[in-house]
Amino acid sequence: MHSSLWLSALLFVPLVGAIVAQLVRRSDGRAYLVAVACATVELALSAVVAVLYNPGVAGAQGFDFAYRLVLSAPLGLAYDVAVDGISLWLVVLTALTALIALLAARDRRNEASYVTWQLVLMGVTMGCFVTHDLLAFFIFFELILIPCYFMMTQWGGEGRQAAAMKFFLYTFTGSAFMLIALIFLAITHQHQVGGPLTFAYGALAQTALSSSTATWIFIGMAVAFAVKAPLWPLHTWSPSTYAEAPAATGIILAALLSKLGSYGLLRFCVGLLPSALPTMRPILLTLAVVSILYGSLVACTAKDLRRFIAYSSLAQMGFVTLGVMSGSRIGTEGAVLLMLNHGIITIGVFVLVGYLERRQLSGRVAALRGLQKPMPVLAGLFTLFMLATMGLPGLNGFVSEYLILIGTFGTHAWWALAATLGVVGSAVYWLWVYQRAFHGPVAPENATLTDVTTAERLALLPIAALVIVLGVLPQTVLHRIDPAVSILSTHVAPSGVSK
Amino acid sequence: MTLHAPAINYVALLPFLLLVGAATTLLFMTALTRNRLSTVVSTSIAVAAALGGFITTFVQWFEVNHHGATTTAAHAIVMDGFSVVMAASITSSLTFALLIAHDWQGRERFNGAEYQMLALLATSGALLMTQANDLVLLFLGLEILSIALYCIIAFNRRRLKSSESSMKYFLLGGFAAAIFIYGVALAYGASGTTNVTALSYFLGTNHLLHPGLLLAGGGLMMIAFAFKVQAVPFHFWSPDVYEGAPTPVTGFHASIVWGGAFAAMIRVMISGLGTQVSTWRPIFFVLIVLSTLVGAAFAILQGNAKRLLAYSSVSHSGFILLGVWTGTAAGVAASSFYVLTYAPVVLGTFAIVALVGGVGDANHELEKYRGLARRNPWIGASLAVLLLSQLGVPFTVGFDGKFAVLAATIDAGNTVGAVVAMVAACIAAFAYLRWTTSLFVAENLDLEPLVVPFASRVVITLSVAYALILGIDPSWLTSITSHATLLFQP
């Protein structure tokens, strides 16, 4: 087992960075450099964790780097970190998203404060993924709202106040139910085994629950995650939030924070409450399929690129949910992989939208006509990300979507069949938006636009590279995901199918 | 016939005596000096007494820890862990409230020591309520508290609303007091005693064949308590009084009066009528559901900061009642923890509200807060922290309080109550959030920044520090409150 200090470093580097950025706040440029340095260190640390990770630590259920320190026994509050193959790649994604958001979506208005919030957001998101304790997870999950809220209200677009409020209230309400559900679970556990209140993941996984109790807890938690993911019909905050958020926040929200929902669903709902699965699985699979189809349909009609991303993400997160709930090992692996892949692709697309907005283009599709001519490189990058989402073999989106569909076909064929329509749908809406924005005659006011600059290209280079590398060599990622998913499948197996 | 004076343990009474003593001193100083006392002198004396009371609670804590809970003055006064913790909360709140009032008096040009005297006396009544182990003494505390309160609510004679709200509070409060004493009389009729411990013993060892008298008595007392803690449907006075009273008095009310009333309610319901828990629980459940939901729903409709805070404290009352509902040690610990975390936060909030309100309490509309964080970054950020704490965001004490209450409630099997309370918290979140958002908009930038006097600055800084530090690590306070409730009841 490796030292937990690596994870503690992941958790505290951004917070230290935030303090340093505040100390040098007089000079915006310096604060920005601090933030970039901090995010780079974070990415390096997460790469080290990814390389070192050993799935076979004895008795750790696939977890490594584990450490637990009880802070307050009566409240059950503990500092508890560990990662396994499921959270590992999300840790990497967190660092990557934060770094690219800083590099590619620099916002110079009151920059010291802005990057401080970004670092805080990186830290608490990291906290969500490395924590191994339900209460600590909940606390980080809620804390994410604060930096997002302040970034939106102060750096966002025209309708930012209303959008920020909607975002906050939606998420806060969702997590209110999660709080009750997890307290209920912990107290049930305490009544069963005695001792002080604990929210440790490993301990709570051993709670014996009747199917109906488990279902209620499942629902309480799933609401929070369905809001975050988002999942139809709790997605309605996302289009306005994506539209009004400042570029960097939008990237983080769309690429990273949405994964919290599916991650939570897999880790806490499926992992902790297998006895609820027979009841809940058909419901969530149906919601996933509806999300896929509904997202695809509405994405076709989206008039604004950011809203387009919101609906396309709804469809993609529907696929993730499908895999998570499929009850098959392959499908679940595909879902974990798609969380990473969709994150990477979304960073790319959102950054490109940010580049367009920098050139004084609103993201309105109607105003974009014919961009291919003045901006060939941008159009090329957009095509790459588009093809990756559509699931072109050789690019990263393909593998994950394929695994999800294969897995789900084996266990829930009808849902998989319906979801396959979504694959077609994604080709339709992507190509259509591409045609509208990039083809056709150039609008005269767009003819003189400059293409992406070298700096802008460099910021996107790692993303484009990853899209290709992960498409060709998914095994590098998959062989770390596999042990954790297989342990989870074995734990869940008695309650249903697992192939 | 000779009268035997009961033995008195003066350590138990020391905080009370200190406050009454300081009030009397101020009274004599006012009478004997030629000019009006300056506010600095009177505030200093009052704050010294409040701090003295606060320090005394540490001595009491030490004594309770070593010798256990005791009663004194013919078992009418109790000194146990719970009373000590509540007294510490009340005396520290008094310090804050006096500092806020000091700046307010400067602004409104109220010289003299009248305000300080009344505040000290009212607080001494609240202290008596936390320590009273006899219903008659509890009534005395309630009246000392209320009568002084009627006066300071009407303190600003130049403001019509102030007098109006005092009148309202006086009439309704008079009814509540009468209802309470009637309840005491009926409970005495049923049990033959007014002593809380004896009452509990009587009910534990006897089975009442005709419990009607007791039920009526307990019910009437409950109504009086519900009135004092602003539980719905006995809350109608609170928005008017919050709005009408001078802002420092509102802060005083939301922390000290509230804390004292909850302490007395917990003492009577749990310690005295704890054996009847299955009878009063359903009524409490109704109060909880109504208070949390109505408070939250009306909070979002308010355009006035003080009325909003009134409804918000109605909703918070519902949360505390949730802890009382359990009737368990864990529930009482959670409730007292909630009071301890809410009082400083709400006082810090009212310190800022008082500053924004300005001379004559003229600016309490929420519009006046637009852009505050741009004009006064520190005040704006502080208010944001305090509001988010009331909203219940993690790493602020508000979250810890809610968490403790919910855990105790679910532990006692009231998941439905917990769900209702959290739904209300989500509704109330809208009110706090709208307010917080308005602080940061880029409007009214040409207005003069607020001048923040020293005393208010101290209060605001301390309350924000309290909200954050305790929010990150609440363990020491939770261990105190849970330890305190183990020392509950003599």
Q: What share of chain A is helix, strand, coil (3-state, %, to 5)?
A: 75, 5, 20
Q: How high does pLDDT run on average in chain B? A: 90
pLDDT bin (cut points 50, 70, 90) of residue B239 is very high
Encode pLDDT of B177-226 as tens digits.
999 999 999 999 999 999 999 998 999 898 888 888 999 999 999 999 99
Beta strands, E only, A310-437: none
Q: So what's the pLDDT on residue B247?
A: 92
Which residues does chain A have within 8 Å of residue B418's beta carbon, measured at their own beta carbons? Answer: 180, 183
- DSSP letter assigned to residue A364: B
Instruction: Return the closest-CA partner of residue A342 out of A293, A364, A298, A309.
Output: A309
Q: Where are the domains of chain B?
A: 10-486
Q: So what's the pLDDT on residue B289?
A: 94
Q: Is A413 near chain B, with CB under 8 Å?
A: no
Encode pLDDT of A136-193 as tens digits.
999 999 889 889 888 888 887 788 888 888 888 888 888 889 999 999 999 888 888 8
Instruction: Return the closest-CA partner of residue A348 out of A190, A464, A481, A242.
Output: A464
- Given a contact cutoff of 8 angstroms between Cβ atoms, the answer to whether A54 and A2 are in contact is yes
Q: Do A172 and B415 touch (CB under 8 A)?
A: no
Q: Is A279 near chain B, with CB under 8 Å?
A: no
Q: So what's the pLDDT on residue A1?
A: 67
Beta strands, E only, A344-400: none
Which residues does chain B have within 8 Å of residue A190's beta carbon, measured at their own beta carbons? Answer: 411
Alpha-carbon span A10 to A7, nearest angstrom: 5
Q: Do A180 and B473 touch (CB under 8 A)?
A: no
pLDDT bin (cut points 50, 70, 90) of residue B306 is very high
The model's pTM is 0.88
Highest mean predicted confidence (pLDDT) among A56-70, B19-33, B103-117: B19-33
Q: Where are the domains of chain A?
A: 5-495
The pLDDT of residue A498 is above 50:
no
Q: So what's the pLDDT on residue B418?
A: 92
The pLDDT of residue A24 is above 90:
no
The pLDDT of residue B490 is above 50:
no
Q: Which of B64-68, B284-288, B435-439, B485-489 has the lowest mean pLDDT?
A: B485-489
The pLDDT of residue A496 is above 60:
no
Chain B residues bordering chain A (beta-carbon distance below 8 Å): 388, 391, 393-395, 399-400, 403-404, 406-407, 410-411, 415, 418-419, 422-423, 425-426, 429-430, 433-434, 437, 440-441, 473-475, 478-479, 482
Q: So what's the pLDDT on residue A249?
A: 87
Alpha-carbon span B345 to B464, nearest angstrom: 7
Who among A72, A138, A169 is closest to B426 (CB)? Answer: A169
Encode pLDDT of A104-142 as tens digits.
877 778 888 888 899 999 999 999 999 989 999 999 998
Q: So what's the pLDDT on residue B487?
A: 64
Q: So what's the pLDDT on residue B481?
A: 86
Q: Do A71 and B473 touch (CB under 8 A)?
A: yes
The pLDDT of residue A41 is above 60:
yes
> Is residue B77 classed as helix, strand or coil in its secondary structure?
strand
Which residues does chain B have within 8 Å of residue A154's beta carbon, measured at their own beta carbons? Answer: 440
CB atoms within 10 A of CB B276: 18
The pLDDT of residue B311 is above 90:
yes
Q: How far is B410 from chain A (nearest CA, A)?
A: 6
Q: How far is B430 from chain A (nearest CA, A)?
A: 7
- The DSSP H or E segment spanning B239 is helix B237-244
Return the amino acid letter for A208.
A
A184, A190, A216: which to substitute to probe chain B, counting the most B Cβ within 10 Å?
A184
> Exposed, middle or buried: residue B63 (CB in 10 Å: 0-12, 13-18, 19+)?
middle
Q: Which of B12-16, B252-256, B447-451 has the lowest mean pLDDT?
A: B447-451
- Given a contact cutoff of 8 angstroms between Cβ atoms, the answer to whether A206 and A266 are in contact is no
Q: So what's the pLDDT on residue B386?
A: 94
Alpha-carbon span B67 to B78, nearest angstrom: 13
pLDDT bin (cut points 50, 70, 90) of residue B330 is confident
Q: So what's the pLDDT on residue A495?
A: 59
Q: So what's the pLDDT on residue A3?
A: 80
CB pairs under 8 A between A and B: 86
pLDDT bin (cut points 50, 70, 90) of residue B1 is low
Q: Do A184 and B415 touch (CB under 8 A)?
A: yes
User: Sign of dihedral through CA atoms A101, A107, A110, A112?
Assistant: positive
pLDDT bin (cut points 50, 70, 90) of residue A451 is confident
Who among B423, B437, B474 is closest to A153 (CB)? Answer: B437
The pLDDT of residue B61 is above 80:
yes
Q: Do A165 and B395 touch (CB under 8 A)?
A: no
pLDDT bin (cut points 50, 70, 90) of residue B144 is very high
Q: So what's the pLDDT on residue A363?
A: 67
- Given a contact cutoff of 8 angstroms between Cβ atoms, the answer to whether A251 and A351 are in contact is yes
CB half-sphere exposure, A130, CA atoms < 13 A: 32
